[in-house]
Amino acid sequence: MDLNEIGSKSAGIWGWIGGGGLGVLGITALQLRKWLSRDGVDRRRDSAEKDLINTLSEQLDKANARAALAEKRADDAYKERNDTIREIGVVSRAMAAMEERMKQQAALIEQQNTELGSLRCEVQSLREKLNETH
């Protein structure tokens, strides 16, 4: 069978035009399907990127919250350390003042003991004089 015979049997030129149109329509449908499929892939990729961005943003927010908490704890620890150092300084100064007072009191007691010894000697000598006169 010859192609001319097929063309003449199936409605002539309009058959060929219709067949060509049908071919173009088929190719267009395939291209449209391919384009829509790509569009769907693009939409899914965009959605996945959006989900990834949201997930990463949430993780960043959590990390920032943990960092802020850690920084607050460190600040609290430094404040507590500084307060403790300040209190140790106050206690050390108070102890130094008490030691100084104790030294002064020890010196005063030593002076008073010396005076007391001197007074005892005087009292003893006065008793002896008094006893001699009697």
pLDDT, the chain, mean = 86
- Residue 8 predicted with pLDDT over 70: no
Q: In the chain, pLDDT over 90 holds for what percent of residues? A: 57
- Residue 119 predicted with pLDDT over 70: yes
Mean pLDDT, range 120-126, rounded to an integer: 92
Q: What total of structural domains would you count in the chain?
A: 1
How does pLDDT run across 67-108, given as a tens digit for each residue?
A: 999 999 999 999 999 999 999 999 999 999 999 999 999 999
Q: Give the model's pLDDT for residue 18.
A: 72
Mean pLDDT, range 13-27, rounded to an integer: 77
- Residue 29 predicted with pLDDT over 60: yes
The pLDDT-based confidence of 4 (bands split at 50, 70, 90) is low
What is this structure's pTM?
A: 0.46
Phi, psi of 109 (to 5 degrees): -65, -40
* Residue 43 tokens, joined: 């939409």
* Residue 96 tokens, joined: 């130094």
Q: Which domain holds residue 32?
A: 3-133
- Residue 10 predicted with pLDDT over 70: no
